[in-house]
Amino acid sequence: MTGHTQRGQCAKRLSILEAAAEVFCNQGFAGASIDEIAAAACVSRQTIYNHYREKETLFVAVVEDVMNRANAMLFSMLSTFPDNADNLEDDLTAFVVRLNRNCICNHDGKFLRKLVQMEGERYPHLFESWRQHGPGKLTTALSALFARLAHKGALVIDDFDVAARQFVALGNADLQMTVLFGGMPTDGELEKAARNAVRTFLKAYGRPGPEKASPQPQLATVSG
């Protein structure tokens, strides 16, 4: 190894991280065994100890890895905000669908939620970082978006932060159980959930003006 190391290592590393994420997620930190991780990664136990000093080191590395992926995904999502106020309902709906699919209900989202619940108190620094870069970034960005839209007159909002948190909460309202048990909703469920969420959000915060926010005022909602 003459300096820039990585290559054969890299494949093994990724294999280990992936397998460890799976096993930690299913068994928890205490329940996960290094041997099981090694087997799942098709790697010898010693190789794991070669890369990570001990079980805890591996665990922290796994969490950081998943967090990085999740953060990158969130960041790429936040750059696709709807910025003009035409088609606001459809744009927001599409955003919620993608947010739920790519950040909340996906593999990494499930992993982080489980881990925060299970080991959050044991690694406060790790999960404080998650909070800031995940939910924190999301609500901050949403808050800014809503401020822009309110400035344009497309929304009527008194507290942008509250509205942002409520937006996220509404986006998950119909998926709570699926999400809690780790399932992935179907495309249809994602679509329905997002539509219900945005419809209610706009009923509460949409401009009351030209009666355009909700096209069919009294039609039955797509039920969950």
Beta carbons of 82 and 141 less than 8 angstroms apart: no
3-state secondary structure of 220: coil
Q: Is 43 in the site for DNA (CB under 7 A)?
A: yes
Piece in contact with DNA (CB under 7 A), picked from 26-34, 71-79, 84-92, 164-172: 26-34
**Nearer residue to its own copies within complex by CB, 27 or 68:** 27
Q: State how far the Cα of 173 lies from the Cα of 176, in Å rounded to an integer.
A: 6
Amino acid at 172: N
Q: Is 8 in the site for DNA (CB under 7 A)?
A: yes
**Nearer residue to its own copies within complex by CB, 31 or 209:** 31
Q: Is 173 in the site for its own copies (CB under 8 A)?
A: yes
Q: How far is CA 37 from the centre of its chain?
A: 25
Residues 159-188 binding DNA (CB under 7 A) are: none
Please give the backbone phi and psi of residue 71, each rounded to the nearest 5 degrees, phi first: -65, -45
Please give the backbone phi and psi of residue 182, each rounded to the nearest 5 degrees, phi first: 80, 10
Radius of gyration of the chain (CA): 21
In the set 113, 133, 137, 148, which binds its own copies (CB under 8 A)? 113
In the set 18, 28, 40, 47, which binds DNA (CB under 7 A)? 47
Q: How far is the CB of 38 from its own copies (least distance, A)?
A: 18
**Nearer residue to its own copies within complex by CB, 135 or 148:** 135
